[in-house]
Amino acid sequence: MGYRGFRDLKVYQLSYRLFLEIFDLTKNFPKEELYSLTDQIRRSSRSVPANIAEAWRKRKYPKSFVSKLIDLLSEESETEVWLDYSKDLNYKTKEKYKYFIQKYDEVARMLSSMIENPQKFCY
């Protein structure tokens, strides 16, 4: 398998880094967005690496592992919607938006690959 833990997974490392970047970026969002957009995008982006860790612990049961990964794709997609809002409300540049969307597409591709090939991760 080659993975000692979830922290070794590239998808975990990338999604964790993206959360930190989003957290930093949202510090500049308007104060009136604190309990709406800022909170929502932080919550969904934080959920991606956290749920990767949860899925990892379920890999003894391939169906549970895959089910958790499928749920995780919805958190990734939710994050993309919040990114759409932040772009359209001009809370970030189009370049930053493009960067995050490309990176979250990469996260989605990695998760989809794990869903299609759970035997590489399960025991």
Per-residue confidence (pLDDT) for residue 123, from 0 to 100: 86
> Has residue 3 got a pLDDT over 80?
no
Summarised one tens digit per residue, pLDDT across range 16-75 is 999 999 999 999 999 999 989 999 999 999 999 999 999 999 999 999 999 999 999 999
Summarised one tens digit per residue, pLDDT across range 60-75 is 999 999 999 999 999 9
Query: Taking the model in full, what pTM does it have?
Result: 0.94
Q: What is the CATH number of domain 6-120?
A: 1.20.1440.60
Query: In terms of DSSP H, where are the helices of the chain?
Result: 10-26, 39-57, 62-88, 94-116
Question: If you ran DSSP here, which 8-state letter would residue 76 be given?
Answer: H
Q: Could you tell me the two tokens for 85?
A: 């809002």
The number of residues making up the chain comes to: 123
> Has residue 1 got a pLDDT over 60?
no
Q: Given pLDDT bands bounded at 50, 70 and 90, which one contains residue 2?
A: low
Question: If you ran DSSP here, which 8-state letter would residue 75 be given?
Answer: H
What number is the average pLDDT over the span 92-114?
97
Who contacts 9 (Cβ-Cβ below 8 Å, separation ≥6)?
A: 3, 52, 56
Per-residue confidence (pLDDT) for residue 66, from 0 to 100: 97
CA–CA separation, 46 and 57 (whole Å)? 18
